[in-house]
A and B are shown apart, each in its own frame.
Chain A
Amino acid sequence: MSSFFTYIVQGTAITIAVTLVALPFGLIWGLLMALVHTYGGKLLNRVAAAYSLLLRGVPPIVLLFILYFILSGSINLSPFWAGSLSLGIVSSAYQMEILRGALLAVGGGQMTAARALGMSRLQSIQYIILPQALRLAIPPWSNEASIVLKDSSLVYALGVPEVLRRAQQLSATTQQPFLAYGAAALIYFVLVFAVNRGLDYVSERTKLPTHP
C-alpha cells in the first residue's frame, strides 16, 4: 500500500516539472506575442492575431500530438521535453490574450505621458507599461496557471510518467480504479489550490494603494 502512494507521489514531481517548463515558456513567448500584437506594425499584428486564433481554435490534446511529432521528430527531444514545450506553446496563445488585455487596460495615456517625458517606445514599455500591465494580469494569469497545471495531465498520452499516467497503471495493476484516480484527483486539487492561493498573495502584495 505504501508503495502505491510512493509511486504516485513520484509522479507529482514530474507533473510539477512539466508545469514549470510549460508555464514560464508560455509566459515569455506569450508576452512577446502580446507586445508584438499591441505595439508591432500592421504585419506583425496580423501574424500574432493569426497565431492566437489558430492555437486557441484547436483542442490542446490535438495540438499536443501535432507539436509532439514535429518537435520529437525534428530535433529528437525526449517525450518529457517535447510534451512540456508543446504544452507551453499551446498556453502561450492564452497567456498572450491575457497579457494583451492587460496592456490595453493600462491605456494609451500612460504611453503618451512616458513619450512626452522623452522616453523611447521601448523604455516606455519597460518602465511604465509592463509594471502596470503585469499587475493587472495576475488574477487572470492565476487561472491560466491552474489550467496548465491540470492540462499537464495530457502529456500522459505521450507516455510521460506523470500523475495521471501512474494512476492509470496503478488502476490496472491493483484493480482499484477509484483509489488510484481519487489519489490523482486529490494531488491535482492540492496543487491547483496552492498555486491559486500563492498568486492571490502575490496579487495582494503588489496591489497599488488607493486612498489613504
Chain B
Amino acid sequence: MTNPILETRNLTKVYGQNTIFKNIDLKVNEGETIVIIGPSGTGKSTLLRCINLLTSHDGGQVFLDGNEITAKGYNEDEVRQQIGMVFQNFLLFNHLTAFDNVMIGLTRVKKMPKEQAKAKAMEELNRVGLADRADHYPGQLSGGQQQRVAIARALAMDPRVMLFDEPTSALDPELIGEVLGVMAKLARDRMTMIVVTHEMGFAREVADRIVFMEKGNIVEEGTPDDLFYHPKHDRTREFLWKITELYGKKEKEKGDKA
C-alpha cells in the first residue's frame, strides 16, 4: 500500500462551545478524487480550511507527503503553495486581469522569471479554456468564467493537492457545467483533489471515493457505487435519497421549461 499524499489524524476543530468536527481521519492517495458530501453546517468547509492551515485546528495532525504540516514552526506559506484552493465565491483578485490573477502567484510567491511565468499563466488559462479572456477583469467575466480562472490560478502553482470548497454553489445553473467539466478533466489527469460539493452527478461519476460527513463526523466513506447503492448507514441513505430527489426535481423542471 502506498503512502497517502495527504492525511489527517484525529483532526478536531472547536469554536467556543461548538465542536465543528472531531477526530477526523482522512487519507488521500496520489491522483485520487475525494468528494465530501453532507448537510450544511457539518464542518466540511472548515475541514478544508484546516487542511491548508487557513483556519487553526484544535487537535490532531495533518500530514502532507508524510511531513506533519501542523507541527509548530512549520512554514505555513510554503504549505499553501502546495495545496491549491478554490472557493465558493471565486475570490479572484478584482484589480487584476484574468492573466495577472494566474501570474501573480508565480512571480510574487514562486519568484519565477517573468517570461517563464507568462508562458505558464497562458498555459493554465488554456487548460481551463479561457485563453481568449486573458485580458478581462473579473468584473467582465461570468461567474463560471471567474471560477475557471480561479482554478487556473491555483493550478499554476503546481500544487500537490487541490481543495474545492463548494465551487459551483454560487453559480447560475447553466454555468455549473463548464466548471464541473474542468474539474472532471483534472480528475482524469490524475490531479489529487478533495471536493466539497452538493453536485451528486459529479460525485457519482468523478469521485474515486465519497465521504459522507454529518455533525462533525465521518459517517461513512466508500466508492460511489457503495454509497449510492449499498449504503451501510440509514443516515447516508436518507441524505442521498433526499438530495438526489431534489436534484432530479430540478432536472425535471429544467426539462419542462425547455
Contacts and interface: CB of A to CB of B under 8 A. Distances in A.
A210 B140 contact: yes
B80 A210 contact: no
Contact of B80 (A110, A115, A128, A209): A115
Contacts of B89: 109
A120 B154 CA distance: 16
B140 A211 contact: yes
Interface string B91-111: 111110000000011001100
B137 A208 contact: yes
A117 interface: yes
A201 B62 CA distance: 51
Interface centre among A109, A110, A118, A119 (most CB of B within 10 A): A118
Interface in B79-93: 80-81, 84-85, 87, 89, 91-93
B95 A114 contact: no
Contact of A119 (B77, B84, B154): B77
Interface string A103-136: 0000001101111111110010001100110010
A57 interface: no
Nearest to B82: A118
B54 interface: yes
Given A110-B94, A209-B139, A115 B105 contact: no
Interface string A168-212: 000000000000000000000000000000000000000011111
Interface centre among A116, A123, A212 (most CB of B within 10 A): A116
Contact of A118 (B78, B92, B93, B94): B78
B151 interface: no
On chain B, which size bracket covers the interface?
20 to 34
B193 interface: no
B153 interface: yes
A114 B94 CA distance: 12
B91 A113 contact: yes
Contact of A113 (B77, B87, B108, B109): B87
Contacts of B85: 116
Contacts of B94: 110, 132, 208
Contact of B153 (A110, A117, A127): A117
A211 B145 CA distance: 13
B52 interface: yes
B257 to A, nearest CB: 26
5 contacts: A113-B87, A132-B94, A209-B137, A211-B139, A212-B136
Interface of B: 52, 54, 77-78, 80-81, 84-85, 87, 89, 91-95, 104-105, 108-109, 136-137, 139-140, 153-154, 157
